[in-house]
Structure 1
Amino acid sequence: MPTKAGNGRHGAKRAIELHAHGGYERLLRAAQALDAIRVAVAHPCNAEALQAAIDARDEDLIVPVLVGPAARIAVVAREIGVVLDGIEVVDTEHSHAAAAAAVRLAREGKVDAIMKGSLHTDELLRAVLDRECGLRTERRVSHAFLMDVPKYPRPLLITDAAVNIAPKLADKADILQNAIDLMNRLGYEAPRVAILSAVETVNPAIGSTIEAAALCKMVDRGQITGGIVDGPLAFDNAVNVEAARIKGIVSPVAGRADVLVVPDLESGNMLYKQLVYLAGADAAGVVLGARVPVILTSRSDSLRIRLASCALAVVLASPPRARAS
């Protein structure tokens, strides 16, 4: 695969290490040990979307398949000085058709993942979740942000802040299992998962505390596997050892969480944006639970975040026998 001079997999690592914290380094190492995956980029019809696909290609993470109006894609490529020679383009009429075509390529096994271009997130997810032609599995689809928070000693996964608005208990069980499975793929044999609420005790007046307790019992009974789970936990005692000590919380998770499962989309969305805008965190996002990973990027994402989001998909899409330990 052609790459820009001086880039390639070592270039990807350098891009991640430009961040002072470097919390994505482990993720990039895992992805760099694997083969690049074929990714359908749905409607890459603005500079940011097309550049994201090209950057990920140049870092040897993905082989992009550009799905959208070919003439518009060609215009954008000229505007940003990108040569599309050797890149497959699937011509479609508009963004709705691009979303459907990207999903169809995944259903047919022609691509390993889907990447959001310049269409709206809900437009892409509508095609992914279509009951007849989409990419549903027996598991509920959910979203996860792998956060690189400068003052936190490890990457922090937040779920679900983008897809499930008001998940019920059964939904949260799938959201939790999706998150644990992702962390297992990233090399965490038993990730520590905090089920968040406003308080750390079960309170019948706060429904999320009851659901947190039920999820923990589901873990005890083997209905959810692969992680160490505790809750309800408030945010402070989930991520700060001293806060947990002061409150007398004895827990293998408190103060050392790798994963935060939020009560609903509103709280999760506010939490991750507060970390981004007030704490200088990065947020690499991916949709879990579908037949293939779905990479969600934003126009405002840095190269570091785009590469990390693609790296998540690479690790998820690779066969277990090929994954790095």
Structure 2
Amino acid sequence: MTVAVSAQGTSQQGQRRHDKYDRLVATAQSLPKLKVVVAHPCDAASLGAVFEAVALGLIDPILVGPQAKITAAAEALGKDVSKLRIVDAPHSDAAAGAAVDLVKAGEAEALMKGSLHTDELMGAVVRREGGLRTARRISHCFVMDVPDHETALIITDAAVNIAPTLEDKVHIVQNAIELARALRVDPVRVAILSAMETVNPKVPSTIEAAALCKMADRGQITGGILDGPLALDNAIDLGAAKIKKIASPVAGQANVLVVPNLEAGNMLAKSLTFLADADAAGIVLGARVPIILTSRADSTITRLASCAVASLVADAQRSQLSMPEV
């Protein structure tokens, strides 16, 4: 039997609340509406998420794609799209390019994926001429709402960088720290994950973890407290950290988890989703604006949380100088 879930994350049959996501949405509702351009929202899932976010006062959208398909998708949902701005584009590739152009023109503060392939959207974002690249490496963060875990967990990078170098990881960590700070996390405790908590020359990720921590000591990474290498258990569980006798301000209470590579991050995030009933809001950072990546399988509250995360990131960026373009 299908159980309906409200925008506030509470099911009609008393299933768990999504308290962490509820707080994110409530905070975002106190901010100016996020001006977001939505690339190719031509199915019920992607367009439905737009209407949900509009209804909660989270976003002020521009829809980019084939107007006839967008209108048909809205009619199938029983929604009136006439009050929303639509920029006609003949197909998904053109929609991605036009959406990026609108951001470049200053008409939007965020970019949202509709019913097109992620590669199409990101291809337009990272193009050398006219894209949204900055001097920072682009990376992805999941903001995980895990039942029975006190705080939200940021996991990076599980979607963009396949086998990041140490230099890439500096950017990945800095992006995640700035996300956490935008989400009002204080202090930001960053665990650099590996299979163990000791440096082992035979395990490269442990050496890179130690290097990242020393780089933070030298001010090359700022805004967070780093420790690593840490295994997953002693990164998030105080009991496990005490058993291993790890004295650290991060061990057992990390709120940012930096994984060695995409495979590890993808498996960690999906394990939490499918085995621990967690939800995973997704955001891409390091471009000129935050990019909301949602999946057709995402729940309503996950989609709304992704919009809320982007709104908080955009709000933080308003008060800072933009990162230099490349």
Aligned partner of 1:237 among 234, 237, 248: 234
What is the match of residue 9 of structure 2? 16
TM-score (norm 2): 0.93
Of the structure 1 ranges 21-30 and 174-183, higher mean CA displacement relative to structure 2 is found in: 21-30
Q: Deviations over 1:242-296 (max 9, x none)?
A: 1111111111111101000000000000000000000000100000010001001
Give the distance between the partners of 2:65 and 2:317, measured in 1 at CA.
Answer: 32
Q: Hey, what's the Cα distance between the residues in 2 that align with 1:32 and 1:107? A: 25
The separation in 1 between residues aligned to 2:117 and 2:227, in whole angstroms, is: 35
- Cross-structure match for 1:299: 296
Distance 1:231 1:131 in 2: 35
Partner of 1:61: 58
Match of 1:4 in 2: none
Q: Hey, what does 1:73 align to over in structure 2?
A: 70
Distance in 1 (alpha carbons) for counterparts of 2:268 and 2:317: 32
After superposition, what is the alpha-carbon deviation per residue over 1:284-318, rounded to whole angstroms, capped at 9, x for unaligned?
00000100010011111111001100001111112
User: How far off its partner does 1:20 sit?
Assistant: 2.6
Aligned counterparts, 1:1-325, within 5 A? 15-18=8-11, 19-318=16-315
Give the 3 Å change call, closer, same or farther, for CA 17–222 of structure 1 in structure 2: farther
Please report how far the alpha carbon of residue 85 of structure 1 lies from its aligned counterpart in structure 2 after TM superposition.
Answer: 1.9
Q: In 1, distance between residues paired with 2:96 and 2:18?
A: 35
RMSD value over aligned CA atoms? 1.6
When normalised by structure 1's length, the TM-score is 0.93
Structure 2: gaps of 5 or more residues? 321-326
Q: Given the superposition, is the C-alpha separation of residues 262 and 13 from structure 1 closer, same or farther in structure 2, using an over 3 Å criterion?
A: same
**Counterparts of 1:320 and 1:126, CA distance in 2:** 23
Q: Quote the Cα distance in structure 1 between the aligned partners of 2:301 and 2:29.
A: 14
CA distance in 1, matches of 2:265, 2:7: 30
Give the aligned partner of residue 7 of structure 1. Answer: none
Identity score, percent: 59
Taking the aligned partners of 1:21 and 1:306, their CA distance within structure 2 comes to: 13
Runs of at least 4 residues off by over 3 Å: 16-19, 319-323
Supply the AA of the counterpart residue of 2:54.
R
Amino acid at match of 2:112: M
Aligned residue type for 2:267: M
Instruction: Determine if contact 2:236/2:254 at 8 Å carries over to the other structure.
Output: yes
Structure 1 residues 86-107: Cα deviation after superposition (integer angstroms, max 9, x where no partner) = 1000000100000000100011
Give the Cα separation in 2 of the matches to 1:143 and 1:321.
20
The answer to whether the Cα contact below 8 Å between 2:9 and 2:18 also exists between their aligned partners in 1 is no
Q: How many residues align?
A: 312
Q: Secondary structure at the match of 1:250?
A: coil
Aligned mates of 1:321, 1:55 — CA distance in 2: 25
Q: Deviations over 1:208-245 (max 9, x none)?
A: 00000000000000010000110000001001111111
